[in-house]
Structure 1
Amino acid sequence: MKPGVGKTTSAVWLAHALCALDVPPLLVDSDPAGSALRWSELAGGFPFPVVALPVGDVHRRIDDFLGGRQAVVLDAPQLEDHARIARGVMRHADEWIVPVTPAPIELDRMAPIQAEMGEVQSLRAEPARTAVLLNRTNRRESTRTGPDADAREVLAERGFDVLDTQIARLDLYSQSFGGPVQVEDTAYMDLARELLKRREGA
């Protein structure tokens, strides 16, 4: 929901991980910049459909493209620039994953997003599950000490559910733009498994 935190990278890699786990998703690019769709074009196509829906009523249109798929991954635009579209994404998705880098300025920016999330929850028939994905961290694994652990603790104190999986700062993810995604043995496989487990327990 914020610029520069890896929204598109996270969406694309998560979609590939779900596909590798035999849950082939629909990837919905709701960002007017169209980065996820462009990525799929440059890569010669993904093994799952990608549709562009950068519209405010995206929540009303997604079902037309599902085709019986069990999962939809939505790449939301920046909330501050495209609030209507972002709200439409939030009205459809039953799991909101917010990528956050473990830096003080990024943690401070979570307050308005938390308020916005509360407003959209009030528009839904059932509340969405929400979670924070620590992204571009200093370590591969979550730890009890260090700046990543401090960020995890601050977010938890502010009422956020922080996923166990975290994504290390690796050039592998960002440099894959436009090329094939080799998702095996990456943290995104762990993320996909954690999200599927959360869904089973819901």
Structure 2
Amino acid sequence: MNLKPGVGKTTSAVWLAHALHASGLSPLLVDSDPASSALRWSELAGGFPFPVLALPVGDVHRRVNDFLDNRRAVVFDAPQMEDHAQIARGVLRYASDWIIPVTPAPIELDRMAPIDREMDDMQSLRSRPARAAVLLNRTNRPDATRTGPDADAREALTERGFDVLSTHIPRLDLYSQSFGSPVEVKGTAYMDLAEELVNRQDAA
């Protein structure tokens, strides 16, 4: 989820769904963005090894369970809040984990305040609070750094009360140019992300 388009929501959702599949969790990928980018990606790639459901509706939180079967995980590609707030809020009402991909740049960090307010509002509508976390995306180095914009962004977000995931996604053509292509997820940062999220859920 995020306020704006173009921050890597679809890429993150598709790669994470593949990582969960590779981990044996048999996900359902829900494309709730009216642009249908995740669904189109699946079509161009000749299909994903798990179902992709187009559900760009405001009551998505009421409909998803009708399609679950025995799936052990659901990944949403949520639309940007600024244009499709009702749909995004439906996703937030359903999902137990809210992942906000953020590039470590000042303009992206500045957009976190309205996202934080939106999340606070949605938490009040839930019977159980969701776990919200920031995923540093398109970072400058393959490995975490102790200095520079990646480290500065992590520190700034943590000081503002955001939970920042340990896993980060480096800026690589492997991810940024992958739309429409089959995904080979083994050995990538998204496998680490899937493991971290599963561990967080188990701990909760």
- Coarse TM-score class (shorter-chain normalised): over 0.9
The residue aligned with 2:192 is 190
**Aligned AA (1:40):** S
Match of 1:125 among 124, 127, 141: 127
Structure 1 unaligned spans of 5+: none
Q: How does 1:63-74 map to 2 (within 5 A)?
A: 63-74=65-76
The residue aligned with 1:5 is 7
**Secondary structure class of the residue paired with 1:77:** coil
Q: How does 1:25-174 map to 2 (within 5 A)?
A: 25-174=27-176
The residue aligned with 2:18 is 16
**Aligned AA (2:185):** V
Structure 2 unaligned spans of 5+: none
**Aligned AA (1:192):** A
Alpha-carbon displacement from aligned partner over 1:13-50 (angstroms, at most 9, x marks no partner): 00000000101100000000000000001111100000
Q: Distance in 1 between matches of 2:169 and 2:24?
A: 22
Q: Distance in 2 between matches of 1:131 and 1:23?
A: 21
Q: Distance in 2 between matches of 1:152 and 1:142?
A: 10
**Aligned-pair distance for 1:171?**
0.8
**Aligned-pair distance for 1:140?**
1.6
Q: Pairwise CA RMSD of aligned residues?
A: 0.6
**Aligned AA (1:110):** M
Q: Distance in 2 between matches of 1:64 and 1:142?
A: 40
Q: Distance in 2 between matches of 1:15 and 1:29?
A: 12
Q: Does 1:180 align with 2:171?
A: no
Identity among equivalent positions (%) equals 77
TM-score, structure 1 as length reference: 0.99
Alpha-carbon displacement from aligned partner over 1:138-186 (angstroms, at most 9, x marks no partner): 0122222111000000000111000000000001112111111010110
The residue aligned with 2:202 is 200
